[in-house]
Amino acid sequence: MDILNNILAGQVPMELYLGVSLIMFFAGVYGFLSRRSMLMILISIELMLNAADLNFVTFNRYLFPGQLEGFYFALFTIAIAACETAVAIAIIINIYRNLSSVEVGNLDQMKE
Amino acid sequence: MAHQIIFFVLALIIATFSILAVTSKRIIRSATYLLFVLLATAGLYLLLGYNYLFAVQIAVYAGGVMVLFIFAILLTNKPGENLKTELPVRRVVAGATAVAGLAFCAHLIYWNIKKVTVLVEQADITPQQLGHSLMGTDKYQYLLPFETISILLLACIVGAIMIARRR
């Protein structure tokens, strides 16, 4: 009821933003656990990181307006996610060159 | 009112395409759906009033990271071949984990956050303010993380070249 009153009063309540990022995060969890290709697992990780960014920014905007901690946290998380993707894709390309496959089931051949 | 309509359109786009991205059979489609999710998230940042974060999200995620993804997909994927998923048992377990976590967190959010729903007006963040807080060492200023990120980026460039080069 509170949510409905807020929507009618012309505001988007905070829990709707959190709900959107919740759906994004658990879609990422499902993809991470159910796919075999390493690139799909990386896409799922990107979804989860993106949901975390959205949460930082939402908490900053709703609970601490006028301050910028969540904003900078999201900014630095985006930079770290870009680094992580670049290194992960370099590793995946290297694995593909050695095993001609990017499936996680084949990865135990790497130790030979 | 327009604010709410834009929010619900973006939320619908994010929910639909993030689920499609992890269930699609072809990996290039998954990457495209991920691009839509990232762009809609950038729209939400704009809606919350963080214009700089919107620009960063478009440039770094929707630009740089997506180019890397498409490059890697085209390098490693054999054309016309569908992706294999895990065994059905694993998929059911994964789905159950995701739904259980979703229900638990939704319960927590609904019972704890509903007290604070007021969106206070906030002045736009000026470029001067951004520059000063990124380039200072006082409280609420972020020179140290900024420099740490620059070293991380350098290490990342060197590492990626070292890993991916042909021996």
CATH of residue A84: 1.10.287.3510
The token duo for A82 is: 């870009």
Task: Check pLDDT > 70 for residue A1.
Answer: no
In a domain, A111, yes or no: no
Which of B69, B122, B160 lies closest to A87 in CB terms?
A: B160
Closest chain B CA to residue A8: B1
Instruction: Classify the phi-psi angles of B67: left when phi > 0, otherwise alpha if psi is within -120 to 50, otherwise beta.
Output: alpha
pLDDT by position in tens, chain B (length 167): 788 889 999 999 999 999 999 998 888 899 999 999 999 999 999 998 888 999 999 999 888 999 999 999 998 877 666 666 667 888 899 999 999 999 999 998 888 776 666 677 777 788 888 888 888 888 888 899 999 999 999 999 999 888 888 76
In a domain, A110, yes or no: no
- A47–B21 C-beta distance less than 8 A: yes
- A43–B31 C-beta distance less than 8 A: yes
The pLDDT value given to residue A8: 62
Which of A47, A53, A62 lies closest to B119 in CB terms?
A: A62
Q: Which has more pLDDT, A101 or A84?
A: A84
- B106–A22 C-beta distance less than 8 A: yes
DSSP per position, B37-81: HHHHHHHHHHHHT-HHHHHHIIIIIIIIIHHHHHHHHHHHPPTT-
ipTM: 0.89
Q: Which fold has domain B1-79?
A: Four Helix Bundle (Hemerythrin (Met), subunit A) (1.20.120)
In a domain, A14, yes or no: yes
User: Averaged over A21-49, what is the pLDDT?
Assistant: 92
pTM of the model: 0.89
Min Cα–Cα distance to chain B from A45, Å: 11
- B84–A65 C-beta distance less than 8 A: no
Backbone φ and ψ for B126, nearest 5 degrees, come out as -85, 155
In a domain, A69, yes or no: yes
Domain that holds residue A51: 2-105
User: How many independent structural domains does chain A possess?
Assistant: 1
With beta carbons under 8 A apart, name residues in chain A contacting B60.
Answer: 78-79, 82
In a domain, A78, yes or no: yes
Listed as own residue / partner, the contacts of A37-40 with beta carbons closer than 8 Å and 24 or more positions apart are A37/A102, A37/A103, A37/A104, A37/B27, A37/B83, A37/B84, A38/A88, A38/A92, A38/A95, A38/A102, A38/A103, A38/A104, A39/A92, A39/A102, A39/B27, A39/B69, A39/B72, A39/B73, A39/B76, A40/B22, A40/B27, A40/B30, A40/B83
- B163–A91 C-beta distance less than 8 A: yes
> Which pLDDT tens digit goes with each residue over B108-145?
888 877 666 667 777 778 888 888 888 888 888 889 99
Domain span(s) for CATH 1.20.120.1200 in chain B? 1-79
